[in-house]
């Protein structure tokens, strides 16, 4: 059986990158499809008759992969989750007819009175929305999910107001103004097993006696405790779908996930530095020996992190090379002293292979992978690869 993405993209063979003038992010929807299948496999560990359904979280333009290029993979989930009704429309325009969860929707009659939005699920997280929902007179009934504020304490009802919100929405459900009513929480510390356990228990205690489906698990919660996630009704997974591990010390590869994005850029110049010469802004690098420098057309204006510490790596010609000097707006500089065969037009990979996962780059840049892939700028075309 051909293993389509075992090392994700073979950059030497990817047509899109045979001659690059600027950085490009190659998007692999088949990796997303694989990752959804992997999550289903984990969720099936429980003996329950019905494994939870999966919301594919596609906010922030599918975590920077773009909805359009990610969609052929995301469409293997049971529903799509985005923030706004505008994004719901974009999903419908791509052909998605299944459920969509709007996590931060506008609740006006004008905005919701559009059959193309349905089946539509809405997160309800503050009092004003309860009043807005009650005043709607729509020919379609949305599903509602009451959101608990929890430890994260962003949007959501607190312990007391949660019960009242549920009661109001439950009445609307019985009157047929809602198609369904569920319980939702978003964890603050899903990466920490102990904290996660506490957050889960607090939520269980809160919703006891209030019937309805439960949707609490993000990627980190699901991956760290699939059996607990399997006991819920819907999971909301984002980062894992794109092949990225949310768990400290584990790569996506370790978790059976495949990266859906490879960031590449060309070498546009090569020159020698003599021992003692400086390189880059603020003379951050000084050669201690004769050094062959490669200039790579990728900088922080493309979304590459400026804050990388010395010793961070890229891949070129199938091997690692080290970044030297300060990452600038348009250029990063690499040490090609041990890569005599690499010259101008060679393709450099910044992240997205099993040798150089985005998790490594993110930790070297003191950030998280989700920030890196959502921070790519418009200067970086996203190109779909088969
Ligand atoms: C972004 C988001 C998710 C997805 O989280 P991941 O950690 O990427 O899986 C789930 N639920 C809510 C409410 C979110 O905002």
Q: What is the CATH number of the domain that holds 118?
A: 3.20.20.10
Residues 180 and 63 in one domain: yes
Average pLDDT over residues 115-132: 97
Ligand 1 pocket, 103 CB below 6 A? Answer: yes
Q: Is the domain of 198 the same as that of 324?
A: no
SS3 call for 32: helix
230 CA distance to ligand 1 middle (Å): 17
Range of the domain at 306: 5-24+259-384
HSE on the CB side for 202, CA within 13 Å?
18
If asked whether residues 221 and 296 sit together in one domain, one would say: no
Residue 184 has pLDDT above 60, yes or no: yes
For residues 17 and 64, membership in a common domain is answered with no
Q: What is the mean pLDDT of the chain?
A: 93
| Cα–ligand 1 centroid distance for 203 (angstroms) | 17
For residue 254, is it within any domain?
no
Q: Are residues 192 and 328 in the same domain?
A: no
Pocket flag, ligand 1, residue 150 (CB < 6 Å)? no
pLDDT for 10: 43
- Does the Cβ of 218 fall within 6 Å of ligand 1? yes
Q: Is the pLDDT of residue 14 over 70?
A: no
Name the nearest CA neighbour of 207 among 156, 258, 141, 259. 156
Q: Are residues 308 and 216 in the same domain?
A: no
**Residue 87 sits in the same domain as residue 103:** yes
Q: How confident is the model at residue 18 (pLDDT cuts 50, 70, 90)?
A: low
* Residue 98 shares a structural domain with residue 213: yes
Residues 65 and 197 in one domain: yes
Task: Report which of 96, 176, 166, 181 is spatially closest to residue 140, judged by C-alpha positions.
Answer: 176
Q: For the whole model, what pTM was predicted? A: 0.94
Share of the chain above pLDDT 70, in %: 94
State residue 46's pLDDT score: 59
Does residue 237 have its Cβ closer than 6 Å to ligand 1?
Answer: yes
In angstroms, what is the span from residue 77 Cα to ligand 1's centroid? 15
Protein residue with least CA distance to atom 4, ligand 1? 238
Instruction: Report the number of distinct structural domains present in the chain.
Output: 2
235/333 same-domain check = no
On whether residue 112 sits in a domain, the answer given is yes
Which of 83, 103, 196 to mutate for ligand 1's pocket (most ligand atoms within 8 Å of CB)? 103
Q: Any idea what the Cα angle at residue 196 is, between residues 191 and 197, rounded to 5°? A: 145
Only one residue has tokens 């430890």, namely 151
Same structural domain, 103 and 239: yes
51 and 101 part of one domain: yes
- Mark which of 189, 220, 246 sits at the end of a domain: 246
């Amino acid at each position: 059986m051909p293993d389509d993405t075992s090392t994700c993209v073979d950059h030497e063979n990817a047509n899109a990158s045979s001659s690059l003038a600027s950085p490009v992010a190659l998007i692999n929807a088949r990796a997303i499809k694989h990752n959804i299948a992997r999550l289903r496999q984990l969720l099936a560990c429980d003996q329950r008759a019905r494994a939870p359904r999966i919301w594919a979280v596609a906010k922030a333009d599918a975590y920077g992969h773009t909805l359009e290029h990610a969609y052929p993979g995301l469409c293997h989930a049971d529903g799509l989750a985005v923030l706004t009704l505008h994004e719901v429309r974009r999903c419908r325009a791509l052909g998605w007819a299944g459920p969509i969860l709007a996590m931060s929707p506008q609740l006006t009659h004008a905005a919701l009175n559009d059959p193309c939005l349905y089946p539509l699920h809405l997160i309800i997280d503050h009092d004003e929305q309860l009043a807005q929902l009650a005043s709607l007179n729509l020919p379609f009934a949305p599903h509602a999910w009451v959101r608990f504020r929890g430890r994260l304490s962003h949007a959501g009802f607190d312990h007391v107001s949660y019960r009242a919100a549920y009661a109001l929405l439950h009445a609307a459900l019985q009157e047929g103004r809602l198609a369904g009513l569920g319980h939702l929480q978003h964890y603050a510390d899903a990466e920490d097993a102990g904290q996660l356990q506490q957050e889960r228990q607090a939520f269980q205690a809160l919703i006891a006696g209030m019937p309805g489906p439960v949707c609490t698990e993000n990627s980190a919660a699901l991956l760290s405790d699939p059996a607990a996630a399997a006991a819920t009704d819907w999971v909301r997974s984002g980062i894992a779908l794109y092949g990225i591990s949310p768990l400290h010390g584990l790569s996506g590869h370790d978790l059976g996930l495949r990266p859906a994005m490879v960031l590449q850029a060309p070498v546009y110049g090569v020159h020698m530095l003599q021992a003692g010469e400086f390189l880059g802004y603020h003379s951050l690098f000084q050669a201690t020996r004769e050094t062959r420098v490669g200039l790579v057309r990728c900088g922080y204006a493309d979304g590459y992190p400026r804050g990388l510490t010395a010793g961070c790596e890229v891949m070129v010609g199938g091997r690692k090379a080290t970044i030297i000097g300060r990452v600038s707006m348009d250029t990063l500089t690499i040490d090609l002293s041990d890569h005599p065969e690499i010259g101008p037009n060679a393709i450099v990979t910044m992240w997205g292979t099993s040798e150089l996962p985005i998790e490594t780059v993110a930790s070297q840049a003191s950030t998280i992978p989700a920030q890196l892939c959502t921070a790519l700028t418009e200067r970086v075309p996203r190109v779909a690869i088969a």
